[in-house]
Chains A and B, each alone.
Chain A
């Protein structure tokens, strides 16, 4: 029983990362209709930057978190301003997808050049000894990971529903034309969305890397898992992204007990894709989003 729960926990840890990636993709998609596959790459980039910051400058692992969040939200706004917004003005959505795939490749290349084909990790935020609860072994970092996801979800919800910038962002997401007529600067709202996605990439990368090892090859699987989670949850739905991510991780973990990991992953994905046959808009998506 306890190692069955351990499988679930391991799956949920994977799921938290997928959920954070999917959430970033979802925020960007809902506001600018861009599917940013590069989000998976930024997570690994943030992780390895944090590792270098920690080992190079001797900063404590926990302290790298706010630093990375600031750097990556500002950095993503820069990337959006310099690369994505100009491209979005000219390219069709399909071409724009290619742009983000290209960015994903570029991030992978940057990681390879900067960090080589080697796995990296750093110490946990708060002690390496796992907490033992009822025969379960819980690395303390799991709590940080779950916390990062919770903070992202809650913070995003508060921002979107309780502030007027949030209102303007939701208006932009719903109908950019109508929003612009009210004097909302739609481009600025989109930049904010990219900044939020950057912050989430930093949260995900910095929090996950102490549990695991990351290297440049992790970029693509993360992008794919995040994308599947976002689509299954309902592209543009933040709740959906989180549900899709956690579900994908959970199913992988549980199936992995019985089958080869590849088969487990394939089955988990197939099961989620089957959801799309029944609900093409995804679990939490609204039909109008699909049509658009």
Chain B
């Protein structure tokens, strides 16, 4: 079975500085892949290249049989690829529930006229959308925020809303950009449980993360980046012992 996501030779430089340098990456179906590395290692740039926010200078991104390079980020939800952001991009004036409902927007088949006339199908869809959103909100322990304006939440909670929104889209692949930043230890543990359960549900994930305990707890495979290059790519236990990794990233931590 071929990998769900295959990145080949992906490169991008900004003003002569190579932010991402011929990165290869394969993510197997149903696994969690963590990408770690020090600040400025090129992790978020890699995510931006995969999702079309930044155009690569070179390389290819193959997702579920689709070539992603050259596509607009807004085309990805319909392919089954959702992502979250380091600083959450929620819709400001909508509530948490409404933001999560938006994630499933592409599934609604009702069209304007039936919406305007409030036909039964529309109402049924609306009801289903809402209950699915509430389910996900409960799953991520955000129920107490459901009716708050999304952007009034603390940054950490906003990222969780993004996770819920991403899941609402029933993605094949979910790309998470530092979902645990700003969460305390117990919250992080909860998040680990959630992501675990998500994987059990068959969703493949790529996780960019600083929090090593989270990474080591949940990922199946870890990619380590430094100065735009992949310096290691292995299972968590091996990566933890890798000398280059320890030097580049874990040096102080170990």
Q: Find out whether A and B make contact in their complex, taking CB atoms under 8 A apart as touching.
A: yes
Asked whether, in the complex, the Cβ of B102 is within 8 Å of the Cβ of A182, the reply is: yes
* CA distance in complex: A162, B125 (Å): 11
Asked whether, in the complex, the Cβ of A163 is within 8 Å of the Cβ of B110, the reply is: yes
A99 within 8 A of B: no
A167 within 8 A of B: yes
A170 within 8 A of B: yes
Contact partner of A167 among B77, B98, B116, B118, CB < 8 A?
B98
A179 within 8 A of B: yes
Number of residues of chain B lying within 8 A (CB) of chain A: 31
Q: For residue B165, which residues in chain A have a CB less than 8 angstroms away from its CB?
A: 182
Contact partner of B105 among A173, A183, A192, CB < 8 A?
A183
Asked whether, in the complex, the Cβ of B115 is within 8 Å of the Cβ of A181, the reply is: no
B56 within 8 A of A: no
Q: For residue B129, which residues in chain A have a CB less than 8 angstroms away from its CB?
A: 164
Contact partner of B93 among A158, A164, A173, A177, CB < 8 A?
A173
Asked whether, in the complex, the Cβ of B92 is within 8 Å of the Cβ of A167, the reply is: no
Asked whether, in the complex, the Cβ of B108 is within 8 Å of the Cβ of A181, the reply is: no
Q: For residue B102, which residues in chain A have a CB less than 8 angstroms away from its CB?
A: 167-168, 171, 179, 182, 184
Closest residue of A by beta carbon distance from B129: A164
Of residues 176 through 206 on chain A, the ones whose CB sits less than 8 Å from some CB of chain B are: 177-184, 192
Closest residue of A by beta carbon distance from B75: A183
Asked whether, in the complex, the Cβ of B105 is within 8 Å of the Cβ of A175, the reply is: no
B78 within 8 A of A: yes
Q: For residue A10, which residues in chain B have a CB less than 8 angstroms away from its CB?
A: none
* Contacts between the two chains (Cβ within 8 Å), count: 84
Of residues 132 through 162 on chain B, the ones whose CB sits less than 8 Å from some CB of chain A are: none
Of residues 46 through 89 on chain A, the ones whose CB sits less than 8 Å from some CB of chain B are: none
Q: For residue A179, which residues in chain B have a CB less than 8 angstroms away from its CB?
A: 91, 102
Asked whether, in the complex, the Cβ of B92 is within 8 Å of the Cβ of A175, the reply is: yes
Closest residue of A by beta carbon distance from B106: A183
B66 within 8 A of A: no
Asked whether, in the complex, the Cβ of A180 is within 8 Å of the Cβ of B74, the reply is: yes
* CA distance in complex: A155, B116 (Å): 8
Asked whether, in the complex, the Cβ of B91 is within 8 Å of the Cβ of A171, the reply is: yes
For B39-78 the 0/1 string (1 means CB < 8 A from A) is 0000000000000000000000000000000000111111
Number of residues of chain A lying within 8 A (CB) of chain B: 26
Q: For residue B111, which residues in chain A have a CB less than 8 angstroms away from its CB?
A: 165
A123 within 8 A of B: no
Given contacts A159-B115, A171-B102, A178-B89, whether A164 and B94 have CB atoms under 8 Å apart is no
Q: Least Cβ distance of B71 to chain A in Å?
A: 12
Q: Least Cβ distance of A156 to chain B in Å?
A: 10
Asked whether, in the complex, the Cβ of A192 is within 8 Å of the Cβ of B106, the reply is: no
Asked whether, in the complex, the Cβ of A183 is within 8 Å of the Cβ of B74, the reply is: yes
B122 within 8 A of A: yes
Q: For residue A171, which residues in chain B have a CB less than 8 angstroms away from its CB?
A: 91, 94, 98, 102
Contact partner of A164 among B73, B74, B115, B116, CB < 8 A?
B115
* CA distance in complex: A159, B110 (Å): 13
B90 within 8 A of A: yes
For B97-119 the 0/1 string (1 means CB < 8 A from A) is 01001110110101110011010
* CA distance in complex: A181, B102 (Å): 10
B193 within 8 A of A: no
13 contacts between A and B (CB under 8 A): A163-B115, A165-B111, A165-B116, A167-B101, A167-B105, A170-B94, A170-B98, A173-B93, A178-B89, A180-B73, A181-B73, A182-B169, A183-B77
Closest 4 interchain pairs by CB?
A183-B77, A163-B115, A174-B93, A183-B106
- Extra pairs beyond A170-B98, A174-B91, A182-B165 (20, CB < 8 Å): A159-B116, A163-B110, A163-B116, A164-B101, A164-B115, A164-B125, A164-B129, A165-B108, A165-B110, A165-B116, A167-B94, A167-B101, A167-B105, A171-B91, A173-B93, A174-B92, A177-B89, A182-B102, A182-B169, A183-B106
Chain A interface (Cβ < 8 Å from any Cβ of B): 155, 158-159, 162-168, 170-171, 173-175, 177-184, 192, 286, 288
